[in-house]
Amino acid sequence: MHQLEGRIAVVSGAASGIGRALATRFATEGMRVVLADIEAGALDEAAGEASERGAEVLAVPTDVASRRSVDALAAATIDRFGVPHVVCNNAGVSGTFGPLWETTDNDWDWVLGVNLKGVVHGIQAFVPAMIEAGHEGHVVNTSSVLGLSTGAGSIYAVTKHAVTRLTEGLWHDLRSAGSSISASVLCPGLIATRIVTAGRNRPDHLRNELNEAEVSEIDQRMRAAEQFFLESGMPPAEVAAMVVEAIGEDRFYILTHPEMILDQVRTRMEAILEGAPPPPEDPGDTLLSRALRERG
């Protein structure tokens, strides 16, 4: 899809980080932009930034974990601008860290709900109308380098692997249906965003019961890790530029840090082919544990 000007984009997780940069970039490209996010205050600020680029914007407070909420987003989009051409299912949360046997059902429900079902809901709510409209279009789902690699137990990584495979499936389904909609999976490495403190938007009913000391310890570590991401990560605007380029070239895998992940992909596949155990290194976990060790 070469022409973005005058067309319609929807971005979830648009109040912060990569989603905000995508919305701003689409606005700069002359698109009409729908911004969706669960954090209403930050969403209004992001919508203000996009409209400063001269774009027509619509901000829709949305919980991507809820099918009903994403259906309402689709209805509001179509009502205001029409059927979108670009849909970025980007909202995501980092979840909790530690061995899998220490995870709770609340941890799983929260992270699966946003990271995996959020993408499923975006596909269900928008793609049928996009196919029916018969125009060109592109769906970009945000996974991660952790959606390609192996490593320590992580609900986050489980959901990101699922998003990678889900998007591969979507790509095949769209082609089998003879549709002019395409799809890409965005696999960022280390980006300067607020992903590590995603707990700020965790619904109360999915919080774990922790005492004050535990909450304060986790808060402190996450803030320190966030500082590391903000200082060391790639600026989100660079990620947005890569996404626009990939849509233009119809490129499926969008890797922001190929040097961080390609050896991992190769080593993991070699282990599968050779019947070896999973290779030990996980770039994301290594970065995050380093951040926690250095700062915590």
State the catalytic residues.
156
37 scored as a contact of ligand NAI (CB under 6 A): yes
| Size of interface with ligand NAI, in residues (CB under 6 A) | 32
> Judged by CB, which is closer to ligand NAI: 136, or 154?
154
Q: Which of 7, 8, 11, 16 binds ligand NAI (CB under 6 A)?
A: 16
Contact assessment for residue 37 and residue 61, using Cβ atoms and an 8 Å cutoff: yes
Contact window for ligand NAI (CB under 6 A) among 52-60, 63-71, 128-136, 207-215: 63-71
Among positive and negative, which fits the CA dihedral 206, 210, 212, 215? negative
Any idea what DSSP says for residue 191? B
How far, in Å, CA of 289 to CA of 281, rounded? 12
Interaction mask 210-249, ligand NAI, x per CB under 6 A: -------------------x---x----------------
Q: Which of 38, 130, 174, 255 binds ligand NAI (CB under 6 A)?
A: 38
Contact window for ligand NAI (CB under 6 A) among 91-99, 122-130, 170-178, 205-213: 91-99
Residue 60 CB contacts under 8 Å (≥ 6 apart), including other chains: 34, 35, 36, 72, 73, 76, 77
> Judged by CB, which is closer to ligand NAI: 111, or 174?
111
Structural element, H or E, at residue 192: none
Residue 266 region by backbone torsions, left for phi larger than 0, else alpha for psi between -120 and 50, else beta: alpha
Q: Which of 103, 142, 154, 164 binds ligand NAI (CB under 6 A)?
A: 142
- Counting Cα atoms < 13 Å in the Cβ hemisphere of 151 gives 26
> Judged by CB, which is closer to ligand NAI: 131, or 241?
241
Contact assessment for residue 49 and residue 26, using Cβ atoms and an 8 Å cutoff: no
127 scored as a contact of ligand NAI (CB under 6 A): no
Contact assessment for residue 45 and residue 17, using Cβ atoms and an 8 Å cutoff: no
Paired tokens of 229: 């991401």
Paired tokens of 252: 């499926």
Residue in the structure block whose two tokens are 């889900």: 166
10 scored as a contact of ligand NAI (CB under 6 A): no
285 scored as a contact of ligand NAI (CB under 6 A): no
91 scored as a contact of ligand NAI (CB under 6 A): yes
Paired tokens of 98: 């530690």
Q: Which of 7, 8, 19, 138 binds ligand NAI (CB under 6 A)?
A: 19
How far, in Å, CA of 51 to CA of 155, rounded? 36
60 scored as a contact of ligand NAI (CB under 6 A): no
Q: Which of 17, 122, 137, 151 binds ligand NAI (CB under 6 A)?
A: 17
Paired tokens of 236: 């989100």
39 scored as a contact of ligand NAI (CB under 6 A): yes
188 scored as a contact of ligand NAI (CB under 6 A): yes
* Strand duo 86-89 + 253-255: pairing: unpaired
Which residues of the shown chain bind ligand NAI in the complex (CB under 6 A)? 12-13, 15-19, 37-39, 42, 62-65, 90-93, 114, 142, 144, 188, 190-191, 193-195, 198, 201, 229, 233
